Amino acid sequence: MISVELARELRDAGLRWEPCKGDHFIIMDRDMDDEVFVVSSMVADVHEFPSGRVIGFNGTVEWALDSVEKDAALWLPTESQLRERLGGAFGELVHDGGRFTVVLDIDGRKVTREAKSAEEAYGRALLFLASGR
C-alpha cells in the first residue's frame, strides 16, 4: 500500500477517485490516519469465542461514524490501480537489490521513478505523469 504522504501528493496533483468496491482509504485529519477502511457491500469480522475463532457477517458496522463526505476520505490506490492509471506510458517494473524502479516511456524518452516497494514506485511514476515531479 502506498504511504499517506504519497496519496496526498497524488490527490493534490489531480488524481481523481470514484469509490468502488475493494478500494482502500483513510479518513483524513480526524486522528484516524492509521485506520485503513475498505469499500465493501458486506462487513466480515473475526470474533473470538471460547470455542474458537469465527467469521461473523454483519450488514452494517455498529459505529458512530455513519457516513463521511467523499472529500474527507483519502484513496490509497493498490498496485494494480496505479499501474492501470499509468496507461501506455508504463514500460516496465524492475526489482534490483531491494529497490523497485518503474520505467516510463514518454514520447520515446525513458523516465524512471524508484522506491522501496512496487506500489510506491508506481505511485511516484504516476505523480511524475500528473505533475512533472
Q: What is the pLDDT of residues 49-63, one digit of tens each?
A: 899 998 877 665 555
86-120 pLDDT per residue, tens: 999 999 999 999 999 999 999 999 999 999 999 99
Beta strands in 1-97 (DSSP E): 24-27, 37-38, 43-49, 52-58, 73-75, 90-96
CA dihedral 65, 70, 74, 80 (to 10 degrees): 120
- Degrees (nearest 5) of the Cα angle 105, 108, 111? 40
Domain count, the chain: 1
Q: What backbone torsions phi and psi does residue 79 show, to the nearest 5 degrees?
A: -55, -45
CB neighbours of 62 closer than 8 A, spacing ≥ 6?
A: none
Residue 16 structural domain: 4-131
- 74 backbone dihedrals φ, ψ, rounded to 5°: -115, 120
